Amino acid sequence: MASDRKRQIIEAAAQSFAAFGYKATTMEQIAKLANVGKGTIYTFFKSKEELLDEIVSGLIMEIKAEAELAMDSSLPFSENVHRALYRILEFRQRHQLMAKLLQEVRNIGTAAVQEVLAKLDRAMVEFIRQKIDAAVEKGEIRPCNSEITAFLMLKTYIALIVDWEKDHEPLTKEQIAELFTLYFLQGLSR
């Protein structure tokens, strides 16, 4: 019963954060949506920040599962990393809560939201780093600083999908794959 109630609170909070943003959401709104007393929320979560952190931790697990599903062990690293990164960013773009949190960080700069999104980025970099290390061990790619490489890969994908589209025609999935291969896997040298 307690786990059901906790799940209700988490779902209500996610719904409210997605609809109104983190800053505009109150514990009263969450309690009303979850059909519980405000005090009940505090039996599970010390603060709104802790509740947001719990939600984002769940999102991280979902994103990693999505990325794993996109990968195919019969394909080379170059294809798998592209497939996983694209799936991660598709998830971020279509998930209403993530979209709202990203918008809030850009528009308001809420510290708690910035921290959980940084946690999300760290988790994604770590996931990619592990895949890079495995590819190095298999001899698919040459040794590199896998953490920096993972960071650059993630940020490049975000830039090509989100930032590029602000002033340019969106790139196709194929164009992004070609650019990614050129810059990360082949390099610009002749």
What is the SS3 string spanning the chain? CHHHHHHHHHHHHHHHHHHHCCCCCCHHHHHHHHCCCHHHHHHHCCCHHHHHHHHHHHHHHHHHHHHHHHCCCCCCHHHHHHHHHHHHHHHHHHCHHHHHHHHHHHHCCCHHHHHHHHHHHHHHHHHHHHHHHHHHHHCCCCCCCHHHHHHHHHHHHHHHHHHHHHCCCCCCHHHHHHHHHHHHHHCCCC
How high is the pLDDT of residue 56?
Answer: 85
Identify the pLDDT of residue 162: 76
Does the pLDDT of residue 71 top 80, yes or no?
A: yes
Token pair, residue 165, equals: 């589209």
Dihedral (CA of 157, 123, 10, 29) sign: negative
User: What is the model's pLDDT at position 143?
Assistant: 93
95-118: average pLDDT:
73
* Residue 101: per-residue pLDDT: 73
pTM: 0.81
pLDDT in tens, 26-60: 999 999 999 999 999 999 999 998 998 898 888 88
